[in-house]
Amino acid sequence: RQQQIPAPAEIPAALLEAEPEAAAEGMIIGTVKAGDYLDRVAVHQLGLRTHGRIELHTEATTPGMAIFRAGAGNVFIPAADLTTARTGSGMVGKFVERDGVILLGWTLGETAVETGFRPRRAEEGRALLQALQATGISTVEGETTA
């Protein structure tokens, strides 16, 4: 039922050595269809929960969000596909304290999705949200319905 969802982009080689605007390490909770925190996207390993690192690149020739995932394929979200960033208490079986998860909204082909990220250090998560806000993406700090 999810076969129409295309594979996410590979991280451009130029970003592998580039200095990010902001970065955070933690747990990539997984990706769900936007607005449905229990509808995990199973294709392309997007629903897997892994440890990893998220980097925001704004000065690169290909700006966007690089998601490095341990034990799963890495994902690149072009800046044009990022739609929202907000905090919440969790998704798909991983729920934590209020505002403990960053929810990144983006489009994958024609499908609106959200990827959950639990930063290991709260200050890195705040810096990532501030950097996203500086790019003009719609950010919301504060609890959202999960």
Mean pLDDT, residues 7-17: 93
Of 136, 99, 135, 134, the residue nearest 116 (C-alpha): 99
CA contacts within 13 A on the Cβ side of 82: 26
Torsion from C-alpha of 74, 109, 102, 91, nearest 10 degrees: -100
Lowest-pLDDT choice from 16-25, 26-35, 93-102, 118-127: 93-102
Lowest-pLDDT choice from 18-22, 66-70, 87-91: 87-91
Q: What is the pLDDT of residue 146?
A: 33
Instruction: Return d(Cα 16, Cα 106) in angstroms, integer.
Output: 21
- Return the higher-pLDDT residue of 115 and 144: 115
For residue 91, the cross-strand partners are 94
Q: What is the pLDDT of residue 144?
A: 40
- Return the higher-pLDDT residue of 3 and 67: 67
Going by pLDDT thresholds of 50, 70 and 90, the confidence category of residue 63 is: very high
